[in-house]
Structure 1
Amino acid sequence: MQGYSSAPIDGGVLAAISDRGRRMIWRHAVLIAVGGFLFGFDTGVISGALLYIRTDFHLNSFQQGSVVSVLVLGAMVGALASGRLADRIGRRWIFCLEGAVFLVGTAIAVASTGYVMLLAARLVLGLAVGAASATVPPYLSEIAPKEIRGRLLTLNQMLITIGILIAYLVNLAFASGGNWRAMIAVGAIPALVMVVSAVWILPESPEWLLSHDRRKQARAVIARVSDEPTADRLIEHRDQQRSQDSSGTGWRSLLTRHVRPALIVGLVLAAAQQLSGVNTIIYYAPTIIEKTGLTASNSIVYSIAIGVINLAMTVLAIRLIDRLGRRELLLVSFAVMTVMMALLGLAFIADWPSVLTLLAMVLYIAGYAGGVGPVFWTLIGEIFPPTSRATGSAACTATNWAANFAVSLVFLPIANVIGQGETFWIFAAIAALGLLFTARYIPETKDRDFPELDKDLQSRFNTHPHATA
């Protein structure tokens, strides 16, 4: 069951949900997406804090790089570990645990007395970031009616971008006093919100409850936002689907013939989202700007400008994702990213005016944030069968973090060897491959129940349709 999306109710599931129920679903979705906010905040806050940490702790260039990158390594581990744990203890309690880990990591970072302690704090925060990035999309998917599922899932990406932007603003607020501990400490507030909301406000995923034979609780959760007859029809329809799904659970289920196409789509999109070069713009914007001939008087201000563009286009994506669909946004996004990254490479090779170079950067970020950025997080919450959703999301998220780490690690060395413009052309080629892959293999998931989506996915990979198709 895709949240409340699988019941064959006339007029759609959303029509059976009261206005109060819709408001409750949105409220729950926003609280769940706080996990995405901390994902963005803890990846963004270090950019400003490190300017002062390196002086206080006398960090060399390697130590500075490791303080940044260890979070990504922790995120890979956290993402991989979270899938099975979410299946075991539930979406609600894994969310609570992630909030607690965020609090612990933040406390260690604020109290750090040196490099080693700070490195440990960033590793702990990375575990929480990775786990949250893997478990929030399935949790959102499993509380969402299909008619608004795209918007609810895209909330995750919007909260990530808001988290990044707020981190930059917090950095700016405390920059005059160089108070890096206060910058990091602000992250304790949303972490506390996660814990409190999980304990007292958020419901458990109905899908998880049903998979653990807690039918009475699942019926009560669904009935709170609709009515008891609707809950009964949803559960009955879910039982029919579940009886036909033999893919199993856990990591091994991802390699079955039935689940493999979804896994391929998720892994390729996870890699393409990062390997098409977005983090070269976000992480190295001041460096790139400097090479165009302009001087960055304040790198934090430039970061805020990029954060605003990123957020504005993500908001636009939320408005469009349930209208145009996921596939259309991906196709347009990859096309814009390909062209802009190619032009950016040409701008450096041909020594174009700085204004044109900056325009290509801005349009590239706009293309990414309006499609590939948010749609990836939406799709990994939709394409896997319910029994494999948590582990499938974990595998895709871990791949995304691994690709993120690889790009941030090799961009500058490769650019120094073959040239920055030529390196951007490599990213453009990867974006073009992402466009071709989307056109051939990624189905539309908008307004579709899982059996219909699964049938389309299997046909695109020329596999025999599963019994649920």
Structure 2
Amino acid sequence: MNDADPPKPDSRAYLYVLRSVVVVAGLGGISYGYALAVMSGALLFLKNQFHMSDVLAGFVTSSLVLGGVLGAIFASIIADHCGRRFANSLSVIFLIAGVIITVIANSVPILILGRVILGLAVGAITVVAPMYTAELAPARMRGAMVSVFQLAITLGIMIAYVADTYFSSDAAWRWMFALNLIPAVIAFIFLFFIPRSPRWLVTHNHIEEAQEIFTHTQGKQNVSVELNRMRGEESDMSHAKWSAFLDKKLLKVTLIGMAIMFFQQASGVNIIFFYAPFIFESAGFQSNQSALIATVSVGIVNFLLTIFAVIFVDRWGRRPLLLSGLSLIVLSLLIIGTTFYLKDSLIDSHVVEHLQSQAISGHAAGANLAHAVDIQRSMPSHPQTSESHWLGYITLAGVMLYVGSFAFSLGPMCFVVVSEIFPNKIRSKAIGLALTTNWLSNFIVVQTSLSLLDTLGASFTFWMFALFNVAAFIFIYRVIPETKNHPLEEIERRWIVNTERMR
């Protein structure tokens, strides 16, 4: 093979490989979203069968977070040493094992073990799926392919809501958990048909295999030149160790990625989902209506606007979606906070305590919504005046604006940007650190903000989150480059090496 007459890519093989990659990432996202949300409906049955206190139920639920943190860290190490596909395969195996253990659990310790193993799996998936997809995707469609992961998470949550509604017997929780085997097993089958990451192969000197895969996945006409350029970028990057982060430029970009994932959680997304049923109740809906509207309409808006992001991320770019979405998020939080200020609304302390005991990690997803609905049903209703009725509707509009804005911006774009901005040398470890930050910050934000809701009230809490999003807007505007249509190595050369400023 010579550079003057490179082979034309096989379009059928090209599309088959890309579709398989997207399917695996999407199925991982569905399993992840389902695992997060299904506990909302299963928890009532679990508490009855195992006689759990609220504190113990909260620990069972949040044990997924412990596994998620560990999974994100270990996945980054395994992906470096053994490859992205191997790490992906291992995460799916752990996913299947975790589901089976939770299904057959006959005691609380076994149930917790299953949840921790599930956490290991989904924590690894959040690291490996976006990274693997970004390294295989052509630059012109990389944003859409990575965004499918977030879209799949929202789909998994909607499926969990349906499952929670359909299963209603005492043994239903086993069937709820068992459904997650379907996407997990299908993903395992597809793993046999996806290639290894060509960028990982280059760093480990498997050039011929990388060239073959790169031809099928990138569809480029001059693969040899592209690989030679990649090898030049990777000449000293085969075995990056943690000491590589002592380099100021690498440390800086890693901290930027961690900050992006922190801002995703500091946006207040899970507080919005926690509080949505109470907001709908304030709009004058009765409890059953409130539960239906909160679960269905919020989930649909979240899903549809994520589709919007998938369609336009590679046309408009990452920065326009992030900045426009953040602007609308700030506006929506100001609306919500102001309407609650006019209503002088506070949440009863016992409600906050109950929510805190059940807080779990729910990356941009609303996994806690159905449980919040159950709590809202148990609260006494209050008579509605004409003024408070209309304020409630305005608040409802603010919530929908927030959910839709988040769905096309911070939700998928954070995964896209984090999968792109790191040099190949540190990509897996840096993404692992960024997603670990995401898991931890989500748990911390949910716990602390629920206390703020109790002490400060809804209005000041939502205004505080508006300030966080203003900070996120400034940070992204000043720091985050536009990565649309740029090969990963070019992003590194133009941004990390600073030969050009990317905007």
Please report the TM-score for the alignment, with normalisation by the length of structure 1: 0.90
1:317 has 2:309 as partner: yes
What's the counterpart of residue 498 of structure 2?
A: 465
Q: 1:204 to 1:360 in 2, by over 3 A?
A: same
Q: Partner amino acid for 1:405? A: F
Distance in 2, matches of 1:363 and 1:138, equals 30
Cα distance, 1:329–1:70 mapped onto 2, change above 3 Å? same
1:161–1:141 distance in 2 versus 1, CA, 3 Å: same
Partner of 1:461: none
Gaps of 5+ in 1: 1-7, 459-463
Is 2:273 the partner of 1:282?
yes
* Matching of residue 406 in structure 1 with residue 399 in structure 2: no
- In the TM superposition, what is the alpha-carbon distance from 1:317 to its structure 2 partner? 0.4
Q: Whole-Å Cα distance in 1 between the matches of residues 258 and 246 of structure 2?
A: 13
CA distance in 2, matches of 1:71, 1:383: 28
**CA distance in structure 1 between the aligned counterparts of 2:425 and 2:121, rounded to whole angstroms:** 23
Counterpart for residue 327 of structure 2: 335
Aligned equivalent of 1:448, options 483, 486, 497: 486
Letter of the structure 2 residue corresponding to residue 357 of structure 1: T
Q: Which moved more, 1:171-180 or 1:124-133?
A: 171-180
| CA deviation map 1:411-456 (0-9, x unaligned) | 2222111112111111111011001111111110001134543355
CA contact (8 A) 1:348 1:420 kept: yes
Residue number among 380, 388, 391 corresponding to 2:429 in the alignment: 391
Tell me the SS of whatever aligns to 2:167.
Answer: helix
* 1:252 alignment counterpart: 243
Q: Say whether the 8 Å CA contact 1:137–1:393 is kept in structure 2.
A: no
Q: How many correspondences in the alignment?
A: 451
CA distance in 1, matches of 2:140, 2:481: 17
C-alpha separation in 2, matches of 1:466 and 1:257: 16
Is contact 1:75–1:131 with CA below 8 Å preserved after alignment?
yes
- Quick check: 1:346 aligned with 2:338? yes
Asked if 1:186 corresponds to 2:179, the answer is yes
User: CA 1:248/1:393 → structure 2, altered by over 3 Å: closer, same or farther?
Assistant: same
The answer on whether the counterparts of 2:94 and 2:117 sit within 8 Å (CA) in structure 1 is yes
Change (3 A) 1:141 1:343: same
Q: Is residue 2:264 matched to residue 1:273?
A: yes
**What secondary structure is seen at the aligned counterpart in 2 of 1:71?**
helix
Query: Secondary structure at the residue paired with 1:350?
Result: helix
Deviation at 1:222, TM superposition (A): 2.4
Structure 1, 174-183 or 200-209: larger mean CA deviation:
174-183
Other structure's SS at 1:49 match: helix
Distance in 2 (alpha carbons) for counterparts of 1:312 and 1:85: 34
Alignment pair present for 1:434 and 2:472: yes
Deviation, 1:248, is 6.2
Task: Judge conservation of contact 1:79–1:398 (CA < 8 Å) in 2.
Answer: yes
Q: Which residue number in structure 1 is paired with residue 409 of structure 2?
A: 371
Matched, 1:46 2:39: yes
Tell me what 2:232 maps to.
240
Asked whether the 8 Å contact 1:209–1:217 carries over to 2, the reply is yes
For 1:328 and 1:421, locate their aligned partners in 2 and report how far apart those are by CA, in whole Å.
Answer: 29
The residue that corresponds to 1:4 in the other structure is: none
Between stretches 87-96 and 171-180, larger displacement belongs to 171-180
Tell me, yes or no, if the aligned pair for 1:296 and 1:302 is still in contact at 8 Å: no
Residue 422 of structure 1: aligned partner = 460
Tell me: CA distance 1:387–1:290, structure 2 relative to 1, closer, same or farther (3 Å): same
What is the alpha-carbon root mean square deviation over aligned residues? 2.6
Range with greater deviation from structure 2 (285-294 or 230-239): 285-294
User: Is 1:358 the equivalent of 2:351?
Assistant: no
Does the 8 Å contact 1:451/1:468 carry over to 2? no
The structure-2 alpha-carbon separation of the partners of 1:142 and 1:134, relative to structure 1 and needing over 3 Å to count, comes to same
Displacement of 1:33: 2.8
> How many angstroms apart in 1 are the aligned matches of 2:471 and 2:218?
43
Superposition deviation, residue 116 in structure 1: 2.3
Check 1:417–1:211 CA distance in 2 against 1; reply closer, same or farther (3 A cut): same
CA distance in 2, matches of 1:279, 1:229: 45
AA in 1 matched with 2:113: A
Between the aligned partners of 1:300 and 1:453, the Cα distance in structure 2 is 45
| Aligned-pair CA distance for 1:257 | 2.0
Distance in 2 of aligned mates of 1:116 and 1:152: 38
Distance 1:59 1:286 in 2: 25
2:190 corresponds to 1:197: yes
What SS class does the counterpart of residue 381 from structure 1 fall into? helix
CA contact (8 A) 1:95 1:195 kept: no
Distance 1:389 1:21 in 2: 25
Cα gap change, 1:247 to 1:283, in 2 (>3 Å)? farther
Question: In the alignment, what sits opposite 2:255?
Answer: 264
- Give the aligned partner of residue 70 of structure 2: 77
Which of 78, 101, 104 does residue 111 from structure 1 map onto?
A: 104
Gaps (5+ residues) in structure 2?
A: 344-387
Q: Distance in 2 between matches of 1:23 and 1:246?
A: 30
Contact 1:275 1:430 in 2 (8 A): yes
On the 8 A contact 2:20/2:193 being kept in 1, the answer is no
Q: Are 1:153 and 1:378, in contact at CA under 8 Å, matched by a contact in 2?
A: yes
- Distance in 1 of aligned mates of 2:96 and 2:218: 35
Letter in 2 for 1:327: R
Q: Is the 8 A contact 2:267 2:465 kept in 1?
A: yes
Equivalent position to 2:167, from 155, 174, 182: 174
Contact 2:238 2:425 in 1 (8 A): yes
Asked whether the 8 Å contact 1:442–1:457 carries over to 2, the reply is: no
User: After superposition, what is the alpha-carbon deviation per residue over 1:133-186, rounded to whole angstroms, capped at 9, x for unaligned?
Assistant: 011111001111101011111111111111111111122221367611101111
1:300, 1:46 → 2: CA distance? Answer: 18
